[in-house]
Amino acid sequence: MREFQSVDGEMMIGGVKASDIAKRYGTPVYVTDEERLRSNFRRIDIAFNERMPTRIHYALKANNNLSILKILQKEGAHIDAVSIGEVDLCLRAGFAPEKILYTGTSVSTTELKGLVKRKVPINIDSISEMRRLAEVAPEGYPISIRVNPDVGAGHHSHVVTGAKTTKFGVPKGAIINAYSEALSLGFKPFGIHCHIGAGVQDVEPFLHVTDVMIDMVNEIRDVLGLHLEVLDLGGGIGIPYVPGENEMDVWALAEAIESRVRDATDVQTLALEPGRYIVCDSTVLLTTVNDIKETPEKRFVGVDAGFNTLIRPAFYGSYHHVAVANKFDHPADLVYDVVGPICESGDFLAKERKLPRVAEGDLIVVYDTGAYGFSMSSNYNARGKPAEVLVNEGETYLIREAETVDDLIAHQKIPSRLMI
């Protein structure tokens, strides 16, 4: 878990006091440290590229803020996009179409037409999708095929994607026929793709799926004479959310994966799709204490961020470390549940956490919220989504305004007969 500096008992983020950010921009607010974002990308990029050419496709679903995309575009990232909306965000951020790989599921023909119009390479998820794409794409259109490798892993059952019972990809037993048909339909297959799941902290599942994919790459070459250029192993590299938890050693992971690929295939390029690993610990959520409630069973800290702001604890049972930003060096001696303003018993950010004695007006910081924080937020209970702020070298920049009621009703229409 990331360590933050404390100055005079105040938490610092990128050289700025967390309390100053909260005073200037209000709460709840997501705060991203640009230096940390860049260093996370560079770490994994260097670890893999010093051994073998590797495309680092940032998984946009983790966090789609345009400023974050622009930073990663300047760092040389590629993109993993899962919707045409994500593709358009990337194009607006300056990514060239060929640096975006679209990997959708249950893809409509309308969306396929839009992707072809934008000239974005497509990672095929099903034979049905491939046949419909052939009806709207020109000869030689670049595709990859997503295989279901029957290797699944992840921090929760909802995010395991590589198991054979999931909805994703072409079954590995059908992959030869899939590439054979792709060639007969006039496509230009450049790669093969898989994804085992999200938040994986163990090296072994990645090595297992690498071995499975190597066998398929070689079988495709031997049976069809097709030499695939890119082996895309997807994303899923986790980060340590819990204090004391070990961080994934990406240098050891890179060496283990790439030595296998180099020794056993003629693949020229590896691809990875990290999202969480790049953006997660670059960002924290700041939220103000509205209310303190003590019952015979519990002490509750009521804050202005709920599962509409950060759904991961309620949805996945995920752990996010919390602290009191304006009492950052105070001893933690009382146990609290940190809960939000949503009218649901499941609305919580943290349970059974030791904190300093908390008072109304204190500032709670929730760690590791850059991935699937804002991007999974909602307007439940008619609450606007929060602002996002970028911090860099002691300066702060508003990169998304907090929503107002006007934003909530902007696209609603009342029939004129109801206005009488």
**Nearest alpha-carbon partner for 119 in 141, 93, 89:** 141
**Nearest alpha-carbon partner for 235 in 270, 285, 189:** 270
From 90, 194, 280, 343, the catalytic residue: 343
Q: Report the distance separating Cα 226 and Cα 78, nearest Å.
A: 25
Q: Report the distance separating Cα 96 and Cα 77, nearest Å.
A: 11
* Torsion on CA atoms 56, 57, 61, 62, rounded to nearest 10: 10
Query: How many other CB atoms are found less than 10 A from the CB of residue 419?
Result: 6
Q: Report the distance separating Cα 379 and Cα 92, nearest Å.
A: 25
Q: Report the distance separating Cα 119 and Cα 117, nearest Å.
A: 5
Cα-based angle 262, 268, 274 (whole degrees, multiple of 5) = 85
239, 280 in Cβ contact below 8 A? yes
Which residues does 163 contact at the CB level (< 8 Å), separation at least 6? 148, 150, 151, 152
Query: How many other CB atoms are found less than 10 A from the CB of residue 326?
Result: 21
Q: What type of residue sits at position 56?
A: I
- Hey, which residues does 197 pair with through a beta bridge? 160
User: Catalytic annotation on 90?
Assistant: no
- CA distances to 6, 199, 269, 387 from 393, rounded to whole Å, are 16, 30, 35, 20
| Residues annotated as part of the active site | 343
